[in-house]
Structure 1
Amino acid sequence: GGFNGNVTIKNNSDSTIKNWVLEFDYNDSIDSIWNAKIVSHEGNHYVIKPDKHNLNIKSSESISFGFSGTPANNMTSSEVPENIKLVQTKH
């Protein structure tokens, strides 16, 4: 059986995060995603970029995206993303 998940990124800084990219390792499979896009998936490493309406995260604001997935063991999912990194890109 599959599952749905939601990711929320909150900007706790004093400045806007522009053109963000989220990277993480995740053993389950992400089958579809909305309000963002998978730009790279190698092994268990995912790189996610925002849709145009979510490009910038203003100070004290948050954005969210959702996904549906399949557990790695095809049973139940207890996996959580690891090695999470949020970076701001120049373009």
Structure 2
Amino acid sequence: MTFAPGETTKTVPVVVRGDAAAEPNETFQFALSAPHNADLAHGTATATIVNDDAVVTPPVITPPTTPPTTSPATGSAQLVAKTTVVDDWGTGAVTSTALKNAGSAALDDWTIKLKTPLEITNIWNAEIVSHTTGEYVIHSASWNHHIDPGQAISFGFQATGHATAASFDWVI
């Protein structure tokens, strides 16, 4: 790095390659040494890369239009879950799940179970009630707990691991 006579500052461009991992802020140092015909007052600088991966915007999805394969009992609710992988980068994924009431009665305060090899790191429009190895119990959020017959709600999550169609085993 060369300073012109009288010049006291320089800008050093640094390329930061983004990722989708939620992680702590990271720092690095830039150090000047062995000046030629000059004195160094401050030979080091520290920079911080601020993590911006904690928030995932929920995707907009279209509810499934496929009717259930079995007829629901009269006056009962019947949930059908369909999960779509919105984005998969090999070590993680973003998903969207449509939860449709295919029955003939309204449903309040739904709870479903998901068996998956994925590790959920962020969820929206639902909450994780419990988690054991390979299994999650997921409950409605306060604003989407009611599903009328024929209606659907959606929720999604971000997870680590490679997501395929076989990654989602819903127990309803």
State the Cα RMSD in Å: 1.2
Letter in 1 for 2:105: S
Q: Give 5+ residue unaligned stretches, structure 2.
A: 1-90
TM-score by length of 2: 0.45
- The answer to whether 1:59 aligns with 2:149 is yes
Aligned partner of residue 66 in structure 1, secondary structure: strand
State the percentage of identical aligned residues.
Answer: 30
Aligned to 2:168: 81
Q: Structure 1 or 2: larger strand share?
A: 1
5 Å matches for 1:42-57?
42-57=132-147
CA displacement at 1:7 relative to structure 2: 0.6
5 Å matches for 1:21-40?
21-40=111-130
Q: How many angstroms apart in 1 are the aligned matches of 2:139 and 2:120? A: 14
Q: How many angstroms apart in 2 are the aligned matches of 1:54 and 1:77? A: 25
Q: How many angstroms apart in 1 are the aligned matches of 2:149 and 2:116? A: 28
Q: How many angstroms apart in 1 are the aligned matches of 2:98 and 2:147? A: 11
Q: Give 5+ residue unaligned stretches, structure 1.
A: 87-91
Aligned to 2:160: 70
Q: Tell me the alpha carbon deviations over residues 65-87 of structure 1, each in whole angstroms, 9 at most, x when there is no partner.
A: 0100100xxxx3324222x222x
User: Which structure carries more relative contact order (alpha carbon 8 Å, separation 6+)?
Assistant: 1
Aligned partner of residue 128 in structure 2, secondary structure: strand
Q: How many residues align?
A: 81
Change (3 A) 1:77 1:85: closer
Q: Tell me the alpha carbon deviations over residues 2-53 of structure 1, each in whole angstroms, 9 at most, x when there is no partner.
A: 2100011111111101111010211111110000010100111100001111
Aligned to 2:105: 15
